[in-house]
Structure formats: C-alpha cells, structure tokens
Chains A and B, each alone.
Chain A
Amino acid sequence: MSKDLFRMTLKEAAGFLSSPENFSALHKSLTDRAGAVDAKVKAYTQLNHDGKDFLAKTPRNGKPLWGVPVSVKENICTHGWETTCSSKILKGYIPPYDATVIRKLRDQGAFLFAKCNMDEFAFGSSSETSAFHPTFNPWDLERVPGGSSGGSAACVAADEAICALGSDTGGSVRQPASLCGVVGMKPTYGRVSRFGLIAFGSSLDQIGPLTKNVEDNAILLGAIAGHDPLDSTSANVPVPDYTKSLVKDVKGLRIGLPKDYFISGIDPEVEAAVREAAKVYEQLGATIKEISLPHTKYGVAVYYVVATAEASSNLARFDGVQYGFRYPTDNLLDMYVETRDQGFGQEAKRRILLGTFVLSAGYYDAYYLRAQKVRTLIKQDFENAFKEVDVILCPTSPSTAFKVGEKMNDPLSMYLSDIYTISSNLAGVPALSVPCGFDSKGLPIGFQLMGKYFDEPTMYRAAYSYEQTMHWYERKPKL
C-alpha cells in the first residue's frame, strides 16, 4: 500500500489521513509521483512542497478533508500563491485573498498540493494555449488532454493528484475529463461560488471537481458548493449530502437521448460507446427515451458571441497598471498596447477581438442581443426536455483525444470539440462527464449526463450506478 499511496481516491485518502505522519507519507508519495511522471504529462505549473507549513498551521480537529491534497486550476485565486491563468500577463501575480472554494477547502482541512496548467484564460479545448507549456494526455503523450482544465484532468488521470478543481465555461471540466478518462462535473450555474475564480465568461463559468470516480466527485462538490454572500450569482439553495445519492439504483429513471446530438461529425466509436451505455442503463431498469433539443445547432455560435463578449470585458483589466506584466514605456497608450500585445497569447487576442466586435455600436443588436435571445430558446429546450425525462445522456466530446497541434491552426474545428458541452453552460443546467469505455486506440471515451437545475443528486445516482456496473475506472494509463 505505502508504495502506491498516490493512487488513492479522495475517499481513501480522507480515511488514511489520521496523523501528520500519514500526511507526510502521502505528500511524499504524490510529490515523487509528480516528479516521475509530470516531466511527460506536464499537468502542473507549481507544486506545494511545504507540507511542514501546512501541518503547523492546520490542526486536524476533526476536519473532514484534513490533509487531503487538492490540485487547483491556475485560474482559481489562492492567497499568497501565484495565480496566473497560464498567461504571461499575470506572471508573478500573487492574489491577496482566497477564492471562496479555496477558503472552504482550507476550512475543511484540505492541502493545496499543486496548481494545474490550463489553456490561457481558459480559452481552448486542448491546453495548448498555455503560456507555460502544453499539457499531454497521460493515455497517449502525443495527444492533448483536452481543455481548458487539461492540467486538472491529466493530473488526476496520471495519479499525480488525488483530486482536482477545474472551471467550466463551455465544457472545460467535462471535455478534458472525457479525454483523460476521469469524472468531471460542471455544477448548476450558481451552485458553486465564483468569487476568486478569474472570470472568463461570467454568466457561464462554474468551478467543478475532477476526480478518479463518482464518489470522490460527490464528496468534493459537497465541499465547495453553497451560497456565497460575496457572489450575487450564487444561489441560496441548500446543499444536499451528495454522497447519499451514491446508490446503485436507476429503476424507473427516465433518460433522454437527444437525437440532435447524434449527428454527422461524431466519431462512430464515441457514438457506439454512448449508445452502449444507454443499453446498460436500460438493463439496470432505466427507461430510454429519444428527445429533441432543437436549438442545439446554434449553441456554438451563441456561445462564441456571449462568452467572448464577456471575456473581452473581463480581460480588459489586464492593462499593466496595477499588477502582472507591464511593458515598460513612458506613455500610457503605448503601455496599454504593448502590455496587452505582448502579454496575451494568440487565442486570447482572437477572443478579445471577437468579443469587442460583437459589443460594438452598430453590431450589438445583430450579435450580442440576438445571441441572448437564442440562449433563451436553448434554455427552453432543456425546460421542455426535463418535463419528459430526469436526465439527458449524450457524448461529452465528439471525438477522443486528438493529436497535439492537430487543431491549433484551425480554431473553428477546435471550437466544435465543445459542441456537446456548450449548451448546458448556456442554459445553466448541471452536466457531468463519466468514463464509458475506450476506443480502438485505447483512448478514453466519456458520456455526459445533463440534469435539471440543482438536481446533481440524480445525476450522481445515475453516474454511480453505471460506474459501479462497468468499473472503467480500474483501467489506468501506462506511464
């Protein structure tokens, strides 16, 4: 056991961490593991080597997550610990405060183990736009881990983390979870506080857990969810004990298969795996019903208007005045122009330009306003669908992990890799990616469950029932 401590699940780690000695043993095991594999995977940007400091400052006192190492995406503010969004423009930026999720984790005794690489400012689906370095898929190091939370998914898949936090604006937790074969949840919009999450698309962003299995996911979501008076968009809805939903029982559960998702462009192996999963559910006693989400086809277009509009405004504050990178010059306009030109990468600039354009006088009505209207239709699609079914089952991503560099010069095809994940962000409904097999190349496939607002419990029950039937999580990448 002691040799492979790093393989522990969150649940196992929480049980194991009964003493400072055990904490130090697990910390060492994970650090060694990261030392052994991260040169290849490159999931991390920073490691926390200071276990002693943690022990000195964090008495156990019955804290439920005492000592549990959590790896955190580079866009979640950690007091006193550099938070960069994997961008040159925030290099050296040390937040003077903790994000609410971080404060909650610290309060429950968790140990912040590492910072995870990501696409710069979460702009991307491959983790290749990071200003530090790309991250690689532990299942095939020539392939991408997905993105933008690629580091968070890869570190969990590579067993160099116990669990991780990512953020999801259009699929950034679920798509990498799917491509790396881990469980990733994007909670209902408003379920988890966004305070301290460096904003990309404020009306879409949610922080979500990436874990080795469904049970861990339920535990970690429970630890970070809840109303936050510091976030006006966080919902004042009680947080249920998600672990109570972890029962292997889907009898009578109504599962919808959206016909609009099984369209051309989908990898046949992915489609087959998801349809196979539907059969498994049927055998477990659920009913499968074909449904329609007719406005799905507009999702990507709507998303790239809304998300870039918000991003263009959210990223305007990175101007070299207060913090982060500043191009040294003696004139204000030059400082703005050069700081932003040199501080932002290609994709960030592309999205800022796009967002600035759609908000500009004369274009606002045609783009932003129209997109918001279609967004309402997409929301209504879900409301209608959930009159007939309890959860919706579909692929998480149209393909398995693609090759590094394959889509970097083709932004449109990169954007389309989020085609199944975008709608739930636009509608605000929760969505969860669960491993459901491997393709012929041995790459993980994931399905996505989408649920009603705040009905994460039903989704966890469905996911757990499938997972505990198929046990895909037992297969590990060879590193």
Chain B
Amino acid sequence: MSLEKYEPVIGLEVHVQLQTKSKIFCSCSTKFGAEANTQTCPICLGLPGSLPVLNEQALYYGIKAGIALNCHIAERLKFDRKNYFYPDLPKAYQISQFDMPVAYRGWLMIETKDGNKKIGITRAHLEEDAGKLIHEGIKDASVVDYNRCGTPLLEIVSEPDLRTPEDAYEYLTTLKAILEYLEVSDCNMDEGSLRCDANVSIRLRGAEKFGTKAEIKNLNSFKAVAKSIQYEIERQAEVLESGERVIQETRLWNDEKGQTISMRSKEEAHDYRYFPEPDLVPFTISRQRVEEIRKTLPELPQAREERFLRDYKLSNYDAHVLVSDKKHADYFEQAIRAGADPKKVSNWLTSELFGLLNTRKETLDTCKVSAKALSGLIQLIDKQVISGKIAKEVLPIMVETGKDPETIVKEKGLVQVTDTKFLEDIAKKIIEVNPKSVADFKSGKTAAIGFLVGQMMKETKGKANPALANQILEQQLKKS
C-alpha cells in the first residue's frame, strides 16, 4: 500500500489542569490522590441552589498560557454551559467557554527534522473538570468520586497544521515544556493533568480539501498519541484504497492492542445546547491587565535553548533535550552555578545520570543527587582528585545513597594516587614483568605504552592518575 499517496492532517486538543490550589468555582482543594469525595462542597457537587464564583488564579493562568502561545486575549470573559447527562457531571452541564475563549488565534514553533514549523493554536478556553466513575472493585455497580469535579482546565486546540505522528509528538513536548515553564500546570499525564485527543484525516497529496476526520480518544502518553496517529493514517489509507469512505467518528485507542476502535459515529454525537452561563456575569479583561501579565512571563523554552547554545556552547541536540524539561534545564543550570563546566555537566547529566535514573525508573524529582553534588563530582575530576573512570563508579553510589561525592571518595579510599615515588616503584615492577611490551615500545611501537599504563592502573585499582602514570612510565622506559 502506498502511504506516500496520502498526506495526513492532524490537529490536537489538549486538556491541561491548571495548578491552582482551589477549584475553579469553589474553594475546595484540587490536591490529587485524596480519599474519594473528601474534597467536595455544595458548589462542586452541584447541589440545588449553589452558584459558581470564578477563581481569579485560574483566569490568570489561562491568560498567561494564552500570551505564551502567542494568542489574542479575549476582551470579555464569558462562560457558557455545555449540557449533557453523565453521572460524573453533577449539574448535568459543564461550565465551559463556547464562542468566546479566553485566548484565540495563536501559534507555537516546533522543531522537526525539516526545520522549524509554526503550528497554529485555534483557541484555548477555560472550563471545569468532571468527576470520575469508578467501576473496579465494586460488584454490580459503579460509584462516583467527585473530588476532581471543578478542577480548572485549559483546553488548547491546535489548527490542523500537523502532518506526521512525529510532528504531533514534538508539538506535545513543546507545549508541555511551555506550560511547565509558565508554572500553570504540572502536566502530569499519569495523574491526568494533561490529556490529549487527536483529530486525524488523510487526503491525496496536493489536494486542498480535508478528508473526513476521526477523533481519537483515550491517549495516555505522548508515545500513544504518535502510535495511534500512525495506526489511524494506515487504517484510513486502507479504507480509501479499498474504495470505501472514511466515516466521521470518535475512536478509542487501545494501547495494548495498538489499535483504534470505533466508539460513536457523528450521528450519535451530542447536541450540547451551549448557552451563556447566567450565573457568571461576563466582564472585561483590561488590556492593561494583559500587559501586566505579559511582563510576568518567565523565559520560555525556545529562548532558553538559544541561550544555552550561545552561552554554554552546547550541541543543538543537548540544548534541546535539556530545555524540553524545565526541571532538567533548572538542574543543569544549578550545577553550573555550583562551579562545574557546562559541557561536562551536560554530558554527565544526559549520558550518565539520566541513564542511571532510567534503569532505576526514577526521575530528577526523586533523584537523591543534588545539582551541587553532581557539580562536585565533576570538579573532583577537574582537580584530579579522582579519574573519570572512578567518577563513574562514584555516581551510582551517589544515586543509591544520596551521599556527596567527597564523602564517598574518602570512605572508599578512591583518592587518585599522585605520589611519584610510589608510582615509580610500581612502574619499575611493570617494566620488569612485561619485557615484550617494553621491547615493542623501544622498537618504535609507542602504542605499547597504553598497555603498560593499563597495567599500572590495574595495579593501583584504578586510582593512579593516568597522566602521571604515563609520564613516569615514559621516563623510565627511556632510562632503561
């Protein structure tokens, strides 16, 4: 089948939980993981007679995100009711924004293998989250946990500007990084604070008209988004190749099977009967306020990446990897501030520490090694207290125990041997027992010295200063 015939068209809808302390329309806590229905009140339970009052912080976060995504910010803030019946929705309507989202017509830049690409943001709107149905562990019934009800969400809708699963993955990574930098959401997919639906269609290359789209739901990771889009592109191409038509429908991604499954067709779609929420009076968002918020914006990932390239002379790849997660970039800069060389920090962080954390299924959040400690380790190498090889033995102990490198080096007696007399004695011994290598060296095979240095390192259990060992050996070989 020739996938090349078709061009995929992809748009993403991302829901992020805004990290306010209290809910969007009441003062209940938004903390994740509390006992079911302990973070509720008459308002978020939608009890008769209760009324919503907007959480100012949620609006602030919404505007902040809108500005960072290069959006226009609405002149007037208006909410609407989205009406539908479901047991996790206690008012039987969701307070959302329909025709006047808080932010609209923006864009963000993603890095692709073909260079930078500008992806349009259609809109970003504020709304309340619903509760959670629980089916597991209950016989012949389902129960509802309303704790999540009323958690503030920002729904960010992209233009159908994405063309490949990789585009989609990069868009999500970039968006997540921006939101984390803004500190408006923790974007934790496992706790549901970032959720994504994908709209996918294909069309013949060169065609102007979009094909019929399918909306994919139940995407639990960025990888799942990319995989499901790839699956969907292939599925739709097969449908078209077999002479049939793609139907507009909502499909669920099954991660285990690696398939999307039809959930409901367009005909079964809801009529949400949106209308303006009469309980929340629309109000003006002053331009002055928007400008004030604009000024509070922190350095965003792309600016930081440019700065990393410029100031730390990192490779494009390393800079991109480091800034794409605010915590990584912050850690990196803390280590530099503690005195270590940027390039070395970058190497130790991305290839050594992350590798160790990965195998332990840990992240920087749980990591016992502080940025200062990593910096200390690197500086021990620079000061020739230990060799790089020894450092690679020290780091796993740091990850394991959280002890600082100086302590470990001292406790384990790993301090580099720089005692010339001691090393000279060892060198003599090595020369005596390796006549062949000595002969090779003297016959002009200077590379043979590498073997002899290795023997010295072995003899000293790796603690000999390699440069010094090399120097002493050379001197003695020349003498003998």
Contact = CB atoms under 8 A, between A and B. Distances in A.
Contacts of B275: 309-310, 313, 359, 364, 368
Contacts of B435: none
Contacts of A360: 271, 273
A93 interface: yes
Contacts of A312: 83, 273
A263 interface: no
B53 A229 contact: yes
B54 A232 contact: yes
A360 B271 CA distance: 7
B42 A317 contact: no
Contacts of B46: 317, 322
Contact of B42 (A97, A202, A203): A97
Interface string B260-277: 000000000001011100
B85 A336 contact: yes
B51 interface: yes
B49 A316 contact: no
Interface string A213-226: 00000000000000
Nearest to B283: A232
Contacts of B81: 313
B456 interface: no
Interface in A348-407: 356, 359-361, 364, 368
B396 interface: no
B154 interface: no
A313 B144 contact: no
B386 interface: no
A203 B83 CA distance: 17
Given A198-B49, A232-B54, A336-B85, A321 B279 contact: no
B281 A233 contact: yes
Nearest to B41: A97
Contact of B48 (A198, A321, A332, A356): A198
Contacts of B47: 95-97, 322-323
Given A202-B279, A317-B46, A321-B87, A232 B52 contact: yes
Contact of B144 (A203, A309, A321): A321
Contacts of B42: 95-97
B91 A317 contact: yes
A322 B50 CA distance: 14
Contacts of B87: 319, 321, 332
Contacts of A90: 48
A194 interface: yes
Nearest to B271: A361
Nearest to B26: A230
A35 B306 CA distance: 84
Given A313-B273, A316-B85, A321-B144, A95 B48 contact: yes
A112 to B, nearest CB: 16
A166 to B, nearest CB: 15
Contacts of A93: 48
A75 B49 CA distance: 8
Interface string B309-324: 0000000000000000
B271 A203 contact: no
B454 interface: no
A232 B49 contact: no
A197 interface: yes
Nearest to A316: B92
Contact of A356 (B90, B273, B280, B281): B273
Contacts of A85: 48
B115 interface: no
Contact of A232 (B45, B53, B93, B273): B53
Nearest to B87: A321
B48 A319 contact: no
B33 interface: no
B137 interface: no
Nearest to B144: A321
Contact of B93 (A77, A313, A323): A313
Contacts of B54: 232
Main secondary structure of the interface of A (DSSP, over half): loop
Nearest to A322: B90
B25 to A, nearest CB: 9
A314 B275 CA distance: 12
Given A96-B42, A336-B85, A316 B50 contact: no
A76 B54 CA distance: 23
Nearest to A204: B278
A356 to B, nearest CB: 7
Contacts of B278: 201-203, 233, 310
B92 A95 contact: no
B90 A99 contact: no
Nearest to A323: B47
A359 B83 contact: yes
Interface string A173-215: 0000000000000000000001111110111000000000000
Given A332-B87, A336-B85, A195 B48 contact: no
B340 to A, nearest CB: 52
Interface in B269-313: 271, 273-275, 278-281
Interface string B49-91: 1111110000000000000000000000000010101010011
A125 interface: no
Contacts of A77: 48-49
Interface string A287-327: 00000000000000000000001101100111101110000
A231 interface: yes
A299 B146 CA distance: 40
Given A232-B54, A313-B81, A316-B85, A197 B49 contact: yes
A368 B45 CA distance: 28
Of the candidates A231, A322, A332, the one having the most CB atoms from chain B within 10 angstroms of its own CB is A322
B83 to A, nearest CB: 5
Contacts of A117: none
B254 to A, nearest CB: 23
Nearest to A324: B48
Contacts of A336: 85
B148 to A, nearest CB: 15
A23 B281 CA distance: 42
A93 B47 CA distance: 10
Contacts of B45: 322
Contacts of B273: 312-313, 356, 359-361, 364
A230 B51 contact: yes
A80 to B, nearest CB: 13
A83 interface: yes
A220 to B, nearest CB: 20
A332 B89 CA distance: 14
Contacts of A75: 49
A235 to B, nearest CB: 10
Contact of B280 (A201, A232, A332): A232
B99 to A, nearest CB: 11
Interface in B240-273: 271, 273
Contacts of A317: 46, 48, 90-92
Contacts of B52: 232
Nearest to B140: A330
A96 B83 CA distance: 25
Contacts of A231: 51, 53
A95 B279 CA distance: 20
A233 B279 contact: yes
A253 to B, nearest CB: 32
A316 B93 contact: yes
Given A230-B51, A322-B45, A361-B271, 7 more contacts: A198-B49, A199-B49, A232-B281, A233-B279, A312-B83, A321-B90, A322-B90
The 6 residue pairs across chains A and B that have the minimum distance between CB atoms: A316-B92, A202-B278, A359-B273, A203-B278, A198-B48, A196-B49
14 contacts: A85-B48, A96-B42, A194-B51, A229-B53, A231-B51, A232-B54, A232-B279, A232-B280, A233-B281, A316-B91, A319-B92, A322-B45, A361-B273, A364-B273
Interface of B: 42, 45-54, 81, 83, 85, 87, 90-93, 140, 144, 271, 273-275, 278-281
